[in-house]
Structure 1
Amino acid sequence: MEKNLDSKGRWRNKTVAFRVSPEEAKQIDEYVRLSGLSKQDYITKRLTYREVVVQGNPKVYKALRNQMAEIYEELKRLEKCSDGNEKLLSTLQLVAEILNGLKGEKE
């Protein structure tokens, strides 16, 4: 088997594979996208109980923005069904505004 030396000088020559459901795969992909790490690094850190530190970059910012937009739309939908979500919706709106402000600082 071929040896692979990674960027931190580790020999990585073992392959680990497992099956997941489509829903689990989607959730893992979402977490990886939001972390800014490679899928390999994210899964390795999670499985070895090491802290996952989000690497801020434009790709992560876009993933966070898109995720917040999805959450916001779902909360708006739920708001039509119940008045109890108003505080949560306004808090989310504030977080979205702050996130948009962060983008403006980088430009």
Structure 2
Amino acid sequence: MSILKNYTVYILQCADDSYYVGMTNDIDRRLAEHQQGLNRGYTNSRRPVKLVFTEHFSDVNHAFEFEKQIKGWRRAKKEALIKGEWDLLPELSKAYKK
């Protein structure tokens, strides 16, 4: 019997209104780490943070690819994703290429 792992790609809105994209296999633990400043990375000086988006995956490779993809997006596209406006994503990609 194999145990299914669950991976979460998440977006945090930081106190300075910037966004941070990450991936974890324990979203509650990871969010607490960000809030407590346990990591010396991007969010440490931008606390408090607010969880604004999650997407769950059973395959770590799919989660990693999605995280990498979102990290390359402009703010407007991230905000459309956060709002659940998936239909706007292709148009926002086209607008950027012009």
Q: TM-score range by the shorter chain?
A: under 0.3
Question: Which has more strand, going by share of residues?
Answer: 2
TM-score scaled by length of structure 1: 0.26
Question: Which has more helix, going by share of residues?
Answer: 1
TM-score scaled by length of structure 2: 0.27
Higher alpha-carbon Rg:
1
